[in-house]
């Protein structure tokens, strides 16, 4: 009864359609981008403020206490006022920026922005609330330090960004405990300003009207303060595999850092495609090899990470301790293969369709669009980049992909790190590549 | 009486078209042409609670086998055909259902229907694929449970405290020995029994024309052999009459944690009785203005985080009876679990006795509306929810009504729900930290 049916062809693709938007830079330096996506009666907001070189522990605590009170409202009152319009706001940091993210029923957008402005103008960092949040953050960091994915990332960042602010992205528990309300107020006064910041609003809105609402609520935000620029990331230095000991680990965390380029670099589209063919999506050589053929791992992935100071490609897999060396061999093999031999036409076409299709998927929700627009804005780009990038993806040739693979994906340019039980894996891994060991401090 | 109606709860108007194919497959279509993408979901009425004794983790292992090829698809073909069409895919195993789904640009509709229909006729079950996927699942369990702190807390750790029967109490990820003992004939039998098209729903949402989609669905699914749904087992258990509390040492965890659960009314047959508990969980834990965050995190500092939700997998509208309201807390170093549990009891008492403050219920309901609308903004969020609502309730249109039904829950109902969460009906599990000590 299993009749043979052939795979249906795809219908004609619908072209990429960019949403209606409005943009205005206010006199205080804040750029407002409002984008119409009326799919549900909500609004998404993302405020991105440059925050490079802010002191790590202070910045981390500031993000946790920004909504902890103003001169007229407590933490609970701010949260309750937001909830009243179906809203919520939160802040997060990375080495490039502070971001306030939130959403509400669209009828509450004006109120949401009003409360955001109130906090930006008048956050007071009350002593008691700061103490509470300091302890919560210290506990969270302690928990993170027991998570292999976190420990592997810490080791990788330290290795690939020596001397750069990106080398350490999580503050120590001691530094967090030393943060004072005065330091937070000072950091806020110095750095939390509209110059260079971007507010993205996406939702069931009239973009022009939303820009006016934002101008009314945030136009008075103090335009003073300082900014800071990051030096470019250091060139990636390949070398021996760094083995970080985690006694008793039942899995090894395998990481490779490789060089990459920014979104607007002429090699970017081809590198994105080459990475996909290698290991950047499920139907890639590396995933089919180490998961679907060998069963060494569950969720291996390979991604280009873009930061303001530079881009890096990271390859990650959690593999059973006993197959650490064989998994390393297969990873080196797949990197070497794509660097040495051209990919096949059908592999490139499949990766290209995936890259183009997932652009459409990423734009299809309000939160997806808001995230894209805000991230792009942090790099001086607009949603029109989607159309330009689509064209470059469509134009990349087999030769382009082969050339970039040889340049950026070659094992010879990789910086490898493994976090795992050194006693069990060191001998086998050392038989494959030179190894230096970092024991657990 | 709470009478604040400060903000209007909006209503969505997603179209819903339902029909059943002659072979018994139930179909839900929800066209929305606002973005050139579609979500496709096929949901089977079988989950963790249905797996046989001695085969813990089998429903999930079988989910993996559904991706390993079928009559017209070699191993790896499914992934390549979805991703090669610009889409994403996955599947997941739940207590009461197993779902398979894709999000793709809308020009790939027919291809997705072909892929789902082909495996609905039957997956390729081979020794080699089974062995490979047992290895992959073991790595998944190592990543998510064994190699990390708080692995499986509380969704795998609390059910055996609260429940006594195998379907409700056992480890749904499975023991390595049970997984390794799984055979190809086991898989064939599981497919025959549960993966009947009469036991499934198909849902498509997004950018398509209904009449065209219906024609394509009839073309691809029409000849899937009709097999009736098996009669669904009764998983009922009596409510607790005395408190249950257990603890375990987590060697990787640096700090204590505790989770408690109380049984709630049947989510399907007593939806009106169940909804107040969904609202109560948010009144207690949604954001800094919620009862338990304000008391435990901000005032007492006896916990560093607290969360509350319905169902052990946190899916209030996709679970059947027996299920529970859960509250889970992470504690600071040296924190007292006893004190946390006593304080939660106090706060529940206070809520039951004194009621809500002005505006408290309305603002919680407004925020819940935002959460629900956000979840359904993605085409796949709609397709999945509608598929499960059809499967479990025959009512996919409930998706449009949920924000308003939640807004209609009254203060008295929330107070009554809080009053029902008594210590003698509570099951708790405590994580004793064994790491960094």
Domains of chain A: 21-218 (3.30.830.10), 241-438 (3.30.830.10)
- Single out the residue of A414, A407, A412 nearest to residue A274, CA to CA: A407
Spans of chain A, pLDDT less than 50 = 1-2, 441
pLDDT value at residue B1: 34
pLDDT in tens, B377-431: 999 999 999 999 999 999 999 999 999 999 999 999 999 999 999 999 999 999 9
Tokens of B205: 């949402």
Q: What is the CA radius of gyration of chain A?
A: 24
The token pair at A432 is 């494959």
B268: tokens are 């399907």
CA separation, residue B137 to residues A291, A319, B93, B128, B164 (Å)? 10, 12, 12, 14, 26
Give the pLDDT score at B4.
Answer: 44
- Cα distance between residue B140 and residue A319, in whole Å: 10
CA distances from A246 to A296, A424, B255 (A): 19, 10, 19
CB pair distance less than 8 Å for B83 and A354: yes
C-beta of residue A160 within 8 angstroms of C-beta of residue A236 = yes
Q: In the predicted model, is pLDDT for residue B6 greater than 70?
A: no
What are phi and psi for residue B305, nearest 5 degrees?
-155, 150
pLDDT at residue A195, as a whole number? 93
What are the residues whose beta carbons fall under 8 Å from the beta carbon of B350, sequence distance 6 or more?
Answer: none
Question: Are A360 and B110 a contacting pair at CB < 8 A?
Answer: no
- CA–CA min distance B242, chain A (Å): 33
B314: left (phi over 0), alpha (psi -120 to 50) or beta: left
**Maximum CA extent, chain A:** 75
Q: Which two tokens stand for residue B407?
A: 């807004």
With a CB-CB cutoff of 8 Å, which residues 302-321 of chain B face chain A?
Answer: 304-305
Q: Which residue has the tokens 């560093």?
A: B304
- What is the average pLDDT value for chain B, to the nearest integer? 96
Number of CB atoms found within 10 A of residue B242's CB: 8
Burial class (CB in 10 A: 0-12, 13-18, 19+), A441: exposed
Phi, psi of A424 (to 5 degrees): -90, -25
CB A279 within 8 A of CB A287: yes
Given an 8 Å threshold on Cβ–Cβ distance, is A14 in contact with B106? yes
Residue environment code for A204-217, b if the CB has 16+ CB neighbours within 10 A, otherwise e:
bbebeebbbbbbeb
- Asked if B23 contacts B218 with a C-beta cutoff of 8 angstroms, the reply is no
pLDDT at A1: 41
Each domain of chain B, given as residue ranges in start order, spans 17-221, 244-433
Q: What sections of A85-171 are H helices per DSSP?
A: 109-122, 127-144, 148-160
**A282 at B interface, C-beta within 8 A:** yes
User: What digits encode the pLDDT tens for the residues B162-192?
Assistant: 999 999 999 999 999 999 999 999 999 999 9
Query: Cα–Cα distances in Å, from A82 out to B287, B369, B411?
Result: 10, 13, 20
Q: How far is CA A128 from the centre of its chain?
A: 32
Question: Comparing B339 with A1, which gets the higher pLDDT?
Answer: B339
Q: Tell me if B200 sits within 8 A of B120, measured CB to CB.
A: yes
DSSP letter at B142 equals: I
Tell me the CATH number for domain B17-221. Answer: 3.30.830.10
**Per-residue model confidence (pLDDT) at position A5:** 73
Q: CA torsion angle for A180, A182, A185, A189 (degrees, to 10)? A: -130
Q: Among partner residues B223, B289, B364, which is closest to A76 by beta-carbon distance?
A: B289
Q: Answer whether A351's CB lies under 8 Å from A277's CB.
A: yes
Distances (CA, A) of B335 to B347, B431, B432: 18, 12, 11
d(CA A211, CA A219): 11
pLDDT in tens, A339-349: 999 999 999 99
Per residue in B255-289, pLDDT tens? 999 999 999 999 999 999 999 999 999 999 999 99
Alpha carbon distance B389, B381 (integer Å): 12
Mutation for testing the A interface, residue in B216, B363, B437 having most A CBs under 10 Å: B363
Indicate the DSSP class of residue B209: -
Report the C-alpha gap between A254 and B87 in whole angstroms.
27
Identical fold, B17-221 and B244-433: yes
Strand order in the sheet with B305-310: B244-250, B426-433, B257-263, B324-330, B305-310
CB contact under 8 A, A79 and B37: no
Residue from B102, B287, B302 whose CB has the most chain A CBs within 10 Å, to mutate: B287
**Per-residue confidence (pLDDT) for residue A265, from 0 to 100:** 98
Nearest to B230 by CA among B28, B29, B52: B52
SS3 A290: helix
Pick one of 3.30.830.10, 3.40.50.10860, 3.30.465.10, 3.30.750.200 as the CATH number of B244-433.
Answer: 3.30.830.10
Interface predicted TM-score (ipTM): 0.95
**Contacts for A8-14 with beta carbons within 8 Å, 24 or more apart?**
A8/B110, A8/B111, A8/B113, A8/B114, A9/B111, A10/B85, A10/B107, A10/B108, A10/B111, A11/B106, A11/B107, A11/B108, A11/B109, A11/B110, A12/B107, A13/A356, A13/B36, A13/B105, A13/B107, A14/B36, A14/B105, A14/B106, A14/B107, A14/B207
Distances in Å between the Cα of B344 and the Cα atoms of B199, B281, B289, B422 are 41, 12, 16, 10
> Would you call A282 and B131 a contact, using CB atoms and an 8 Å cutoff?
no
Q: Which residues, in sequence order, are bridge partners of residue A420?
A: A245
Question: B153 is written with which tokens?
Answer: 């807390």
Strand order across the A31-36 sheet: A21-25, A31-36, A198-203, A42-50, A97-105, A88-93
Query: What would the pLDDT profile of B356-365 be if each residue is shown by its tens digit?
Result: 999 999 999 9
* pTM, rounded to two decimals: 0.96
**Residue B23, burial from CB neighbour count under 10 angstroms (0-12, 13-18, 19+):** middle
Residue A6, pLDDT score: 86
The helix or strand, by DSSP H or E, that contains position A299, with its residue range, turns out to be none
Separation between Cα atoms, residue B31 and residue B379, nearest integer Å = 10
Residue A99 near residue A121 (C-beta atoms within 8 A): no
Looking at the complex, does the CB of residue A70 fall below 8 Å from at least one CB of chain B? Answer: no
CA B407 to CA B423: how far, in whole Å?
A: 28
Structure tokens at A47: 């405020």
Q: Taking 80 as the threshold, does the pLDDT of residue B437 lie above it?
A: no
Q: Looking at chain B, how many residues does it have?
A: 437
Do the Cβ atoms of A86 and B369 come within 8 Å?
A: yes
Q: Which of B429, B426, B340, B425 is nearest to B156 (CA)?
A: B429
CB-CB contact of B142 with B174 (8 Å): no
Distance in Å, alpha carbon of B320 to nearest chain A alpha carbon = 28
Q: Is the pLDDT of residue B297 over 70?
A: yes
Report which DSSP code applies to B146.
I
Residue reference for tokens 């909504």 = A67
Are A231 and A163 in contact, with CB atoms under 8 Å apart? no
Residue A230 DSSP symbol:
P
Interface of A with B in 98-157 (CB under 8 A): 103-108, 129, 132, 135-136, 139-140, 142-143, 145-149
The partner residue sitting opposite B304, judged by closest CB among A136, A354, A368, is A136
Cβ contact A139–B330 (<8 Å) = yes
Paired with A291 in beta bridges are none
**Residue-level pLDDT at A3:** 53
- Tell me whether strands A301-307 and B17-20 are parallel, antiparallel or unpaired: unpaired
Cα A384 to its chain centre, rounded Å, is 20
């Amino acid at each position: 009864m299993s009749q043979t049916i052939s795979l249906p062809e795809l219908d004609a693709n619908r072209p990429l359609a960019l949403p209606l938007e409005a943009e205005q830079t206010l006199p205080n330096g804040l750029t407002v981008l409002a984008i119409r996506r009326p799919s549900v009666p909500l609004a998404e907001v993302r405020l991105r403020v440059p925050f490079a070189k802010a002191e790590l522990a202070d910045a981390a605590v500031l993000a946790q206490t920004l909504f902890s009170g103003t001169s007229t409202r407590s933490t609970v009152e701010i949260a309750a006022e937001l909830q009243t319009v179906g809203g919520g706001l939160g802040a997060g940091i990375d080495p490039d920026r502070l971001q306030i993210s939130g959403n509400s029923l669209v009828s509450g957008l004006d109120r949401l922005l009003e409360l955001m402005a109130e906090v930006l103008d008048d956050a007071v960092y009350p002593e008691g609330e700061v103490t509470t949040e300091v302890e919560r953050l210290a506990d969270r960091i302690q928990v993170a330090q027991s998570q292999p994915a976190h420990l592997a990332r810490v080791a990788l960042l330290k290795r690939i960004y020596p001397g750069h602010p990106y080398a350490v992205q999580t503050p120590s528990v001691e530094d967090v405990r030393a943060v004072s309300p005065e330091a937070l107020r000072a950091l806020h006064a110095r750095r939390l300003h509209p110059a260079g910041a971007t507010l993205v609003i996406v939702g069931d809105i009239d973009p022009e009207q939303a820009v006016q609402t934002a101008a009314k609520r945030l136009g008075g935000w103090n335009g003073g303060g300082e900014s800071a620029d990051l030096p470019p990331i250091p060139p990636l230095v390949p070398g021996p595999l760094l083995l970080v000991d985690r006694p008793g680990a039942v899995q090894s965390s395998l990481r490779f850092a490789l060089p990459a380029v920014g979104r607007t670099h002429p090699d970017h589209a081809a590198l994105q495609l080459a990475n996909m063919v290698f290991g950047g999506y499920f139907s890639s050589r590396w995933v089919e090899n180490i998961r679907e053929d060998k069963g060494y791992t569950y969720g291996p992935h390979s991604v280009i990470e873009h930061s303001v100071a530079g881009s890096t490609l990271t390859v990650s897999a959690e593999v059973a301790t006993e197959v650490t060396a064989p998994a390393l061999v297969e990873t080196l093999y797949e990197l070497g293969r794509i660097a040495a031999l051209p990919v096949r036409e059908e592999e490139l076409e499949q990766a290209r369709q995936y890259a183009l299709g997932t652009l459409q998927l990423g734009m299809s929700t309000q939160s997806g669009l808001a995230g894209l627009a805000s991230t792009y804005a942090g790099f001086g780009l607009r949603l029109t980049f989607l159309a330009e990038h689509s064209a470059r993806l469509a134009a990349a040739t087999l030769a382009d992909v082969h050339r970039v693979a040889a340049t950026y994906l070659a094992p010879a340019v990789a910086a490898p790190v493994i976090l795992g039980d050194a006693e069990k894996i060191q001998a086998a891994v050392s038989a494959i590549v030179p190894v230096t060991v970092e024991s657990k401090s | 009486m709470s009478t604040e109606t400060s903000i209007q709860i909006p209503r969505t108007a997603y179209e819903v078209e339902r029909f059943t194919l002659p072979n018994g497959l139930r179909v839900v279509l929800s066209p929305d042409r606002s973005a050139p993408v579609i979500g496709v979901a096929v949901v089977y009425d079988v989950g963790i609670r249905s797996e046989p004794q001695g085969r813990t983790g089998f429903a999930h292992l079988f989910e993996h086998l559904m991706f390993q090829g079928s009559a017209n698809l070699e191993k790896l073909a499914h992934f390549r055909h979805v991703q090669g069409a610009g889409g994403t895919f996955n599947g997941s195993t739940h207590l009461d259902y197993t779902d398979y789904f894709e999000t793709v640009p809308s020009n790939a509709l027919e291809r997705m229907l072909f892929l789902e229909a082909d495996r609905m006729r039957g997956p390729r079950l081979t020794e080699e694929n089974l062995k490979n996927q047992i290895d992959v699942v073991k790595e998944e369990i190592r990543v998510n449970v064994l190699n990390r702190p708080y692995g499986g807390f509380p969704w795998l750790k609390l059910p055996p405290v609260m429940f006594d029967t195998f379907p409700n109490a056992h480890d749904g990820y499975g023991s390595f020995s049970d997984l390794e003992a799984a055979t190809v004939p086991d898989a064939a039998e599981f497919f025959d029994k549960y993966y009947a098209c009469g036991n499934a729903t198909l849902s498509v949402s997004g950018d398509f024309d209904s009449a065209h989609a219906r024609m394509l669905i009839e073309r691809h699914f029409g000849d899937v052999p009709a097999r009736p749904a098996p009669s669904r087992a009764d998983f009922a258990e009596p409510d607790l009459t005395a408190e249950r509390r257990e603890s375990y040492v987590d060697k990787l965890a640096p700090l204590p944690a505790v989770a408690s659960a109380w049984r709630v009314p049947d989510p399907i047959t007593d939806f009106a009785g169940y909804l107040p508990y969904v609202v109560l969980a948010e009144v207690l834990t949604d954001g800094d203005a919620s009862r338990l965050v304000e008391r435990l995190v901000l005032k007492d500092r006896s916990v560093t985080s607290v969360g509350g939700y319905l169902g052990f997998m946190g899916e209030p509208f996709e679970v059947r009876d027996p299920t529970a309201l859960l509250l889970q807390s992470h504690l600071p170093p040296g924190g007292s679990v006893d004190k946390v549990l006593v304080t939660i009891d106090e706060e529940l008492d206070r809520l039951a006795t004194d009621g809500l403050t002005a505006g408290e219920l309305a603002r919680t309901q407004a925020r819940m509306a935002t959460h629900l609308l956000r979840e359904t903004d993605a085409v796949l969020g709609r397709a999945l929810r509608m598929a499960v609502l059809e499967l479990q309730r025959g009512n996919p249109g409930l998706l449009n009504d949920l924000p308003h039904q939640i807004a209609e829950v009254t203060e008295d109902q929330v107070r009554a729900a809080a009053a029902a969460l008594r210590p003698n009906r509570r099951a708790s599990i405590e994580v004793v930290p064994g790491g960094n000590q």
